[in-house]
Structure 1
Amino acid sequence: MTARVDVVFPCLDEAQALPWILDRLPDGHRAIVVDNGSTDGSAEVARRHGATVVHEPRRGFGSAAHAGLLAATAPVVAFCDADGSFDPEHLVLVSGPVLEGAADLVLGRRIPERGSWPVHARIANRALAGLIRLRTGLALRDLGPMRAADRLALLGLDLQDRRSGYPLEQVLRARADDWRIREVDVPYRPRVGRSKVTGTLRGTLTAVSDMSRLLAEQHDRAGAAR
C-alpha cells in the first residue's frame, strides 16, 4: 500500500520503545525514524521493524524533525515522539482532518495518564500555551508534539529552528500564513525510559528558553510591521 502519511519519529536512544511503536502504525502510515546519534542500536531496531531510517548527526529535536520532513515523500507528514508516550494508532486523529482537507495543521492535545507528565513540564507547557494564545489569538491548550500537516506546505514554511523551538515555529509560521489550525485530544502515556526533555528540569528549561525566544522574535516582528 502506498503511504498517504509519512510519520517522522525523531529518535535518540529509543531502542526499547521502537518495536511497540512501529508495530502499531495505522494502515497508510509509513515510519521515518531519524536517528539523532543513538548509541543503543535504535537505527538497527527501526530497520528490522520496517522503518525508513535517516541519520542526522546534528543534535537537536528540530534538526531530527526537519531531516525527517526532507526525507518524506507522502502527501501528509506527521510527527510523533519515539518514546512510547503516544500510541501510534491515534495518529489517524491528527492525520485524518489533513487528508480530508478539513484542516491545514492538526495538533494532538495531550490527555495525560497517571505518571505520564511531570508537574514541572505540565506547568511550563501551560504557561507557553497561554503566551501563544496571547500573541497569536489561537485557542491552543497544548503545544502537542503529535501533529500532522501537508508536506509541501510544511516545506514552504522554511522552518529555521533546529532545537526545541521547532514545534512552536511550525505553529507561528502557519498562523502567519493563515493556516487552519486545529487541536484534537490524544491520550498521553508514561514514556519508555528516561526523557531527554520533559523528564528533566534542565531539558524543560531549555525548551522553555527556546520557545520564549521565538515568541519574543515573533512579537518584535509584529510590532515592527505596525
Structure 2
Amino acid sequence: MPNIKVIIPAFNEADSITHVINEIPDGVNEVIVVSNGSTDNTEVNAKQAGATVLTENRKGYGYACLKGITYISEQNIKPDIVVFLDGDYSDYPEELTKLIQPMTENNIDFVIGARVKRLREKGSMTRPQIFGNWLATTLMRFMFGSTFTDLGPFRAIKYDKLLALNMEDKTYGWTVEMQLKALKQNMTYTEIPVRYRNRIGVSKVSGTFKGAVMAGIKILGWIFKYGLKK
C-alpha cells in the first residue's frame, strides 16, 4: 500500500463528519480534517473519530485545503498520494480504493471521482451545479483538449505532483485550478465514476444563490485566465 493522507475541509459538519471518517478504508495513513471556522462540534467529533484536526479560520475551501497541505509538508515522512474528500457525506469514502487504483496500477498522476448521472442520488446535485459542471468541462474540452466531465471534489493526486501545481486559490476555484494546472503541466489523469448522494445538512455553496453565483464566476475566471495564456 502507498502512503496515503486524506484531507477533509469541513465547515459545521458535526452531523456528518464521523460517518465520513469511519467509512474511509483501512490502510490510509492519516485523515486530516481542517475545520474552516466551524462553530459546532465538527472538531470534537472528528477528533473522537480518530482524525487529526486542524483549524483554519479564514473562510474558504481553498484556505482549508492549503492548510492541510502545509501540515503535510512539515512532516518528516511525506505521503505518496493525497486524497481530497468533502465532509458532508455526499461522497462514498469507501470508494477511495477505487479512486487510487489507476495510480497504483497504471502510474496515473491525478484521478477525479466523476459524479455521473446514473450513480447520483436524485436531488444530490442542484441544477446550477449540473449546468456549471457541464459548462466548465465543455470549455476545458474546447480550450485545452481535456477529457474531464466533472469538477468533483473527491479526488486523488500524487503528492509530488500536488506540490508542483503550486495551488493558490483560496475559495471556490480550488477544484478547477487543480485540473487546469494539471493540464498545463501535462500530467496523466483519468476519471473514475463514483456514487453521489444527498449531503447531510445544507451546502454552503450550492445551497445559497450567492454561493452558486460566486463559485460560477470564480470557476469561469480560472478557465478564461488560462485560456488567454495559451
TM-score for the superposition, normalised by structure 2: 0.92
Secondary structure, counterpart of 1:187 in structure 2: coil
1:87-102 equivalence runs, <5 A: 87-102=92-107
Distance (whole Å) between structure 1 residues aligned to residue 143 and residue 6 of structure 2: 29
Secondary structure, counterpart of 1:100 in structure 2: helix
1:156-180, Cα deviation, whole Å (9 max, x unpaired): 2111111111111111111111100
Secondary structure, counterpart of 1:188 in structure 2: coil
Distance (whole Å) between structure 1 residues aligned to residue 165 and residue 2 of structure 2: 23
> Could you tell me which amino acid in structure 2 is paired with residue 215 of structure 1?
I
Secondary structure, counterpart of 2:115 in structure 1: strand
1:206 to 194, 204, 214: 214
1:1-226 equivalence runs, <5 A: 4-29=3-28, 30-72=30-72, 73-111=78-116, 112-222=120-230
Unaligned runs of 5+ in 2: 73-77
Q: How many residues align?
A: 221
Distance (whole Å) between structure 1 residues aligned to residue 208 and residue 33 of structure 2: 23
Unaligned runs of 5+ in 1: none
Distance (whole Å) between structure 1 residues aligned to residue 152 and residue 40 of structure 2: 27
Q: CA deviation at 1:37?
A: 0.1
Confirm or deny: 8 A CA contact 1:76 1:99 kept in the other structure: no
TM-score for the superposition, normalised by structure 1: 0.93
Distance (whole Å) between structure 1 residues aligned to residue 123 and residue 190 of structure 2: 26
Distance (whole Å) between structure 1 residues aligned to residue 133 and residue 206 of structure 2: 10
Distance (whole Å) between structure 1 residues aligned to residue 193 and residue 111 of structure 2: 10
CA RMSD of aligned residues (A): 1.4
Q: CA deviation at 1:200?
A: 2.3
